Amino acid sequence: MAYKKSKKRVHKNVETVVAHVKSSFNNTLVTITTTDGDVLMRCSSGALGYKGTRKGTPYAATQIAGKLAKDMVGLGVRVVEVNMQGPGSGRDSVVRALQSSGLGISILRDVTPIPHNGTRPPKKRRV
């Protein structure tokens, strides 16, 4: 029995999406999902060809957002909610690039996990 390739699901006419931005010191990852959580597209600095320390720069994050914004306009997206996570320098660049591409940003959320008490510290050092 031959393998039957399944067709890719295409989401059309999505007005509101959620952009999940995970920005570390080494890289920036952006995932675009529907409000239900279905992933529409994703991109990272490494996918654009950046290597090494250039992946964590604000310029690379701007390029990511520009590429995704161009694809989102094709889907009919008008409004974006942004969830930012992490301490990296690409957080603000992504938001600015999305705004400059003509998309409206409705909500900016910081979803960085913060420990309320943290882990137990290591035992005291004996010298």
Supply the pTM of this predicted model: 0.82
β-strand 79-85 against 16-23: which pairing, if any? Answer: parallel
Q: Residues 82-106: pLDDT tens digits?
A: 999 999 888 999 999 999 999 999 9
**pLDDT (tens digit, 9 = 90+) per residue, 46-62?**
999 999 999 999 999 99
CA dihedral 82, 27, 9, 5 (to 10 degrees): -170
Which residue do the tokens 């909500």 mark?
107
C-alpha 39 chain-centroid distance: 11
Instruction: Give the pLDDT band (50/70/90) at residue 12.
Output: low
CB atoms within 10 A of CB 29: 21
The answer to whether residues 33 and 21 touch, using CB atoms and an 8 Å cutoff, is: no
User: Could you name the CATH architecture of 16-110?
Assistant: 2-Layer Sandwich (3.30)
What are the domain boundaries of the chain? Answer: 16-110
In the predicted structure, residue 108 carries a pLDDT above the cut 90: yes
